[in-house]
Amino acid sequence: MKGADALAEDDMQKAEDLFLLAAKADSSNHLAFYNLGLLASDQERLDDARLYLEKALALKCDDADILTALGTVHLKAERDTEAETLFQKALEQGESDVLCNNMGTIFFRRKDYKKAKEFFRRALDINPDYQPARENIALANFYLALLN
């Protein structure tokens, strides 16, 4: 809880220190590892993020948020196959705007703009204010127009 409070205050270092303390105090605390993974991912420390999120996933294997976060780390590292596998598992639990947008990004990279647009649209259906999906769907439309 103190780590979450530090995040709310934008004190990332304090939040990380508190989450590390929580993880050391209870090595079965998946939320501590999950939050450490998110912080590391936000700071582009992708190897650290992967390790923390893999630990969180080992503790809670069907958690859609952890699957999505770990998939996002793989996506950032351009390991699309690994990302897609994790995103597919997360989709079994339900959709989110971030998850659908990230799946769209995978298809966009594969130049499957129609499938990418479908996922970006699903992200916007979930959250009409989700700006990354709005920008991505515009880009997909641009490339689809070029192909016609």
The pLDDT value recorded for residue 92 is 95
Give 11's pLDDT tier (boundaries 50, 70, 90): confident
As a whole-number percent, the residues of the chain with pLDDT over 70 amount to: 100
The pLDDT value recorded for residue 12 is 84
CA distance 7 to 54: 22
- pLDDT tens string 28-47: 999 999 999 999 999 999 99
Residue located via tokens 């893999």: 54
Domain match, 85 and 21 both: yes
The pLDDT value recorded for residue 15 is 87
- Given 61, 79, 94, the domain boundary residue is 94
CATH code, 41: 1.25.40.10
Residues 6 or more apart from 86 whose CB is under 8 A from it?
Answer: 67, 68, 70, 71, 74
Neighbours of 62 (CB within 10 A): 11
* DSSP label at residue 78: T
- 3-state secondary structure at position 15: helix
**What residues make up the domain containing 77?**
1-94
The first and second tokens of residue 56, run together, are 């969180």
Give 6's pLDDT tier (boundaries 50, 70, 90): confident
